[in-house]
Amino acid sequence: MSAEPVSETPGPWQPDPVRQRQAGYTLEDLLHLPPDAPRVELVDGVIHVVPSPTLGHQHIASLLWRWLTRHAPEHLRVAQAVGVALGTDFTREPDVLVYRAEVPADRHFLLPHEVVLAVEVVSPGTRRTDRFSKPAEYAAAGIPGYWRVEQDPVRVYAYRLADRPGRSGNREYELLAEAADVLELTQPFSVTLPIADITP
């Protein structure tokens, strides 16, 4: 009596380790990921799985998405969980972003010149990236606005792209305002945001 081969159930999708070592992934590869692939970002050709956010993080991001959707001018749209192609081998996925309304709805990624504002909600596991790496990357790509939302208590730091390169020689953000009560701005559009409206 011969033994039947045991069929193994395939595990969850993972990036190819050889291509990861070679930093060989491109934006085109992300367009062909299987449906069961997790949320990912592409950093210099290496796929990074985006950690699952906490409920508190998601509540803040959703409340901000809803607020911005109600208050953004007609020529702008608001999205969550949409990537921005910062290069052929580099993507980021802001928690919330504001983009130009003329962008076709069937697009998987936005280009930096189509994005008006990128927002990151800071979690314990993403502090360094959200406070340092992502703002530098978004500024270098020319995205005009960046908001960093800290949790517990909720506080918003709003930045705009400086007119001149910073001390690093690269384009950098400069702080426009920070608020724990009401955020008031004129850029990228007129904003009077009560922080209570985005506090779970």
The CATH number of the domain where 178 resides is what?
3.90.1570.10
**Phi and psi for 143 in degrees, rounded to 5?**
-70, 125
Residue 4 lies in a domain: no
**In angstroms, rounded to a whole number, what is the distance separating the alpha carbons of residues 137 and 141?**
6
Same domain, 108 and 157: yes
Question: Do 44 and 64 share a domain, yes or no?
Answer: no
Are residues 60 and 39 part of one domain? no
Q: Which has the closest alpha carbon to 107: 97, 119, 117? A: 97
Tell me: do 72 and 101 sit in the same domain: yes
Query: Nearest Cα to 43, choosing from 94, 106, 107, 88?
Result: 88
DSSP 140: H
Instruction: With beta carbons less than 8 A apart as the criterion, state whether 154 and 129 touch.
Output: no
Per-residue confidence in pLDDT tens, the chain, 200 aa: 455 555 555 678 889 999 999 999 999 999 999 988 988 999 999 999 988 899 999 999 999 999 999 999 999 999 998 999 999 999 999 999 999 999 999 999 999 999 999 999 999 888 999 999 999 999 999 999 999 999 999 999 999 999 888 787 889 999 999 999 999 999 999 999 999 999 99
* Domain hosting residue 31, numbered range: 17-49
Boundary of a domain, candidates 7, 32, 49: 49
d(CA 160, CA 163): 9
What's the number of domains the chain is made of? 2
Q: Within 10 A of 47 (CB to CB), how many other CB atoms are there?
A: 21
Structure tokens at 116: 């008006």
- Among 34, 49, 64, give the residue marking a domain's end: 49
Pair (29, 78) in one structural domain: no
Are residues 84 and 25 located together in one domain of the fold?
A: no
State whether 32 and 96 are in the same domain.
no
Give the tokens for residue 200: 């779970």
Shared-domain flag, residues 92 and 39: no
149/171 same-domain check: yes
For residue 54 the two structure tokens come to: 């906490």
- The answer on 82 and 36 residing in a single domain is no
